[in-house]
Structure 1
Amino acid sequence: MKRTITLPGLTLAAALALTACGGTDAGEEETPSVPGTTATATSSQSADEASGAHGGHEGHEGMGGAEHQHNPNGGPPPEGIVEVSDPTYPVSSSVTLTADHMPGMRGSEATITGAFDTTAYSVTYTPTDGGEPVVDHKWVVQEELQDPGEPPLADGTEVVLTADHMAGMKGAEATIESSTDETVYMVDVETDGMKMTNHKWVVESEVQPAE
């Protein structure tokens, strides 16, 4: 009887031991499903960084936490905008940017691809694609507003954007936060490993001669 009791006892203990080990193995195999969330978030973050995300514009002129992705190819200037005939920084000039519109921009070397005489606005808007509100976005120009009226528009003016710098911008309702009449530049620049052509916009006070 003792042997009969002992053997099941040993069998039970062995089974429990195996179960414990098996639980550890299973736990290890199932572990990726928990960290998987973190891995996914990390992958998403990496993808955002690779595609030029402005990670939350708080560090980029106060952008209210929205993912802010510029198209790497900025395209041509808007119709009707006037080129400056003798700008401080002519086309093809090498410059250093002091703007902090996105991670890695401040201190970057850039090449001027256009210089324009217009009014530039900082705006707050809610993207049409359901994204988080974008606060104090710099910049959109007079020619990127729908039926704007005479410049400069007063702070607090409600406008509709025709700019298409990033997803959800075109057609969005916006509020003018501030304006400037400085020369406005398009630039080719590389920030955080992403090359952008005809990036819109930086104003003259955000540019200095290349170091």
Structure 2
Amino acid sequence: MNTLSWRTRMAAVAALSALALTGCTTLEQGESPQPSQTQSTSETPTAHGGMDAHNPNGGPPPEATISGAFDTTAYAVSFTPTDGGDPVTDHKWVVQEELKNPGEPPLAAGTEVVLTADHMFGMKGAEATIDSSTDETMYMVNLEMNGMKMTNHKWVVESEIRPAQ
């Protein structure tokens, strides 16, 4: 089985705790987000994994299907949304390609950046501070959580997923 077909068919369990903390469950109206053309698709994605997923509502962790895998640097960032929303602290994740003129990765904690990502309301154009970074494979996933379907949810790091059982 080649890597691409494995990646697109592999069912994985996304770390619901990461989804709940990110606020990324609110997508802009209209088209589903798509991967940036500047991101390179990971050649060797794996699906073993760190955290045990859990559902804060007491249910089982959601099953997700990986819709894309990318080799890039990801950042946890803190920012104040451009739409006047409450400040967001330690948002996980924004990838290198979602930063305006970022420089060479990885960027150091404390670096000031401007976000070009739009997977949350008020994110695009917001000034942000890098809290931390990781070079793990980044995944987009399709899942249903609490009755809400999410297509190409951005982003889940490799340590936040494990194979479906």
Q: Normalized against structure 2, the TM-score is what?
A: 0.77
Q: Secondary structure of the equivalent of 1:156? A: coil
Query: Which residue of 1 is the match for residue 68 of structure 2?
Result: 114
The 2-side partners of 1:98 and 1:79 are apart by 31
1:143 and 2:128 correspond: no
Closer, same or farther: CA 68–206 of 1 in aligned 2, 3 Å: closer
1:84 and 2:49 correspond: no
Shift of 1:69: 5.0
4+ long deviations beyond 6 Å: 100-106
Structure showing greater relative contact order (alpha-carbon pairs closer than 8 Å, 6 or more residues apart): 2
Residue ranges of structure 2 left out of the alignment (5+ in a row):
1-16
Query: Which residue of 1 is the match for residue 108 of structure 2?
Result: 154
Shift of 1:192: 1.1
Q: Secondary structure of the equivalent of 1:202? A: strand
Closer, same or farther: CA 101–164 of 1 in aligned 2, 3 Å: farther
Closer, same or farther: CA 110–60 of 1 in aligned 2, 3 Å: closer
The 2-side partners of 1:99 and 1:149 are apart by 33
Residue ranges of structure 1 left out of the alignment (5+ in a row):
1-56, 90-94
8 Å Cα contact 2:55/2:62 also seen in 1: no
Q: Deviations over 1:164-210 (max 9, x none)?
A: 00110000000000100000000001111100000000000000010
Q: Secondary structure of the equivalent of 2:142? A: strand
8 Å Cα contact 1:123/1:176 also seen in 2: yes
Give 1 or 2 for the bigger CA radius of gyration. 1
Give aligned-pair identity as a percent.
62
Q: Deviations over 1:16-40 (max 9, x none)?
A: xxxxxxxxxxxxxxxxxxxxxxxxx
The 2-side partners of 1:166 and 1:160 are apart by 14
Q: Normalized against structure 1, the TM-score is what?
A: 0.61
State how many pairs are aligned: 144
Q: Secondary structure of the equivalent of 1:178? A: strand
The 1-side partners of 2:60 and 2:75 are apart by 20
Report the AA paired with residue 71 of structure 1: L
Report the AA paired with residue 78 of structure 1: S
8 Å Cα contact 2:75/2:96 also seen in 1: yes
When the two chains are superposed, the root-mean-square deviation of aligned CA atoms in Å is: 2.9
Q: Secondary structure of the equivalent of 2:70? A: strand
The 2-side partners of 1:102 and 1:147 are apart by 37
The 2-side partners of 1:101 and 1:160 are apart by 32
